[in-house]
Amino acid sequence: MTAEAQRALYTQVLSTLEFTANKRLGLPLGTFARPRPALAEARRSGRSLRQVWLAAQAAHSLATALADWDLPKSDAALVQLEKTAEAIKDPSFQDVTYPQARLRVEVLQQAVKALHEAIAEEIGTRLGIAPGFNAQDGD
């Protein structure tokens, strides 16, 4: 695989996780003073949490396919993310207005970021690549 192709796939993996942390979870969290549960993706169908989990799994699967070596930190981060997701009581994130529920979603957001960091360390560092630009960059 060419370096350009590797960088494109690597960028997609990290962009998916950034979007998940910042938009899929960040938008309904809003601020502590003003949570925005109505902005949760797929809230009416109750699939907000499922969307987060599927995006994380897909990013991990693509990272695994990109690497031809074991990714133990990324694997562990995905397992932790799954455990964290299981603690969420409202899969549509409509309860983020309550401190305990909000905390659980914030911890899930941190787990997504931890998966991002693990993949960046295990793949980007080893291959000596950095993610390229994406549509989320605003450039």
Q: Could you list the mean pLDDT of each consecutive 10-residue stretch along the chain, which spans 139 residues?
A: 83 96 97 95 95 97 93 98 97 96 98 97 84 50
- What pTM was estimated for this model as a whole? 0.90
Query: Which pLDDT value is given to residue 68?
Result: 85
Number of H helices, E strands in the chain: 6, 0
Query: Which pLDDT value is given to residue 129?
Result: 77
Token representation of residue 19: 């979007």
Please name each of the domains of the chain with its CATH number.
Answer: 3-34+47-129 (1.20.120)
Query: Which pLDDT value is given to residue 73?
Result: 97
Question: Are the CB atoms for 100 and 89 separated by under 8 Å?
Answer: no
Token representation of residue 41: 């993706």
C-alpha–C-alpha distance, residues 119 and 63, integer Å: 7
